With several copies, the nearest count.
Chain A
Amino acid sequence: MSQNALMAEQEMEAMTLLFNGMVDTCYKKCIPGHYREGDLTKGEAVCLDRCAAKYIDLSEKIGRQMTEIQNTLAASQMPSQ
């Protein structure tokens, strides 16, 4: 596989993981476990929209923090190689 195709595949996988994590987490936060109607209530819809926005922002923040930690670790391990 070419470098570009590999990166596209990883990007796709990252997006899928992020989306699935968001759906599962926001479902737990916003949808109560009893079902009185099949439509989303106004309250549920608003909660889901805010949850989605917050989840994506927080994930990006976490991604940046992880990259920083990784760079720090990589730098600290340099001398021993």
Chain B
Amino acid sequence: MEKKQMQDFLQLYSKLSIRCFSDCVNDFSTRTITDKESACTTLCVEKFIKMSQRMSQRFAEQHMINQQ
């Protein structure tokens, strides 16, 4: 992987960790992730990546058109 790609990957990784943890984990009565928290996180990551891909397409379509 190229350096630029690696940095994008790390940025996305950091952003997903913050966002999905914030949205999915609220119970601090134990130090172990519950099944519910784990399932929520899987869906959060999946949804965010699908959202990102869709936004990329829209951005390419619309922004490129406007630029011409």
Q: Specify the main secondary structure of chain B where it touches its partner.
A: helix
Cβ 8 A contact of B59, one of A13, A28, A52, A69: A52
Contact A63 B59, beta carbon cutoff 8 Å: no
Q: Please give the number of chain B residues whose Cβ is less than 8 angstroms from any Cβ of chain A in the complex.
A: 48
Q: In the complex, how many angstroms separate the beta carbon of A45 from the nearest chain B beta carbon?
A: 7
Q: In the complex, how many angstroms separate the beta carbon of A47 from the nearest chain B beta carbon?
A: 5
Residues of chain A within 8 A of B32, CB atoms compared: 53-54, 57
Contact B43 A38, beta carbon cutoff 8 Å: yes
Contact B17 A48, beta carbon cutoff 8 Å: no
Residues of chain B within 8 A of A55, CB atoms compared: 17, 21, 25
Contact A66 B45, beta carbon cutoff 8 Å: yes
